[in-house]
Structure 1
Amino acid sequence: MPQKAWGSKRERQYEHVKESTKDRGASEGRAKEIAARTVNKNRAQSGESDQASPESVKDESPQQRGGQRSGNRTGPQGRTKQELYGEARRRNIKGRSSMSKSELEKAVGRD
């Protein structure tokens, strides 16, 4: 759902992403979620949002990434080390800063 903080450009972007996602077969709710996440990440990267996680700002944009890490996370590479570290931080796993990617995968459980 478009938010009051979004300008007309972001509202148009939201509608475009939502319709594109629905055209690919996603449900209405899933399409709205993907569209809102895409717009919010783009706002964070361009400095339009008040709060932004370091992961959102430093990562490549959803348009550049092209869904490389979406959906099936059990592919050959799975989640990035940065994503795993963020999950470990949210779960308050001790010693996460010195863990390798494989250690982080074991600590958070491979999804």
Structure 2
Amino acid sequence: MPRGDKSTYSDKQVRKAEYIEESYEKNGVSKDEAEARAWATVNKQSGGGEQSGSGKTKSGTAKRADRKDSARRAVATKQGRSPNGGHAAARSSRTGSTSLSDMTRDELVRKAAEQNVRGRSRMKKDELIRALS
């Protein structure tokens, strides 16, 4: 396919590019620049024309399942758990006898949150240690 050939783009992509191009032209951008920006936008949003790629062979059901699994793993990580049900940070399961300097910054921030220390999210590790001691 020669460079600049738009034959593999869907009708929807072509309409979108035309609409974007018109919008740029109304704002005073030259015709050539408006066209280039419009197609760059379409390519960025949809990945270009009907290209072969990893997404073509996957069914819609499989894509939905992958998205759901990815979201589940993201929530687990955010909550401090590993996606498979364990605890992400092995150190956070330690007993309270651990000294503050042995704790990670994230552990110190959690401890500061329990004690309602103001400004804890912006503090460095040594500042958190001082605030908690």
**TM-score bracket for this pair, using the shorter chain length:** 0.3 to 0.5
TM-score, scaled to structure 2: 0.33
Normalised by the size of structure 1, how large is the TM-score? Answer: 0.39
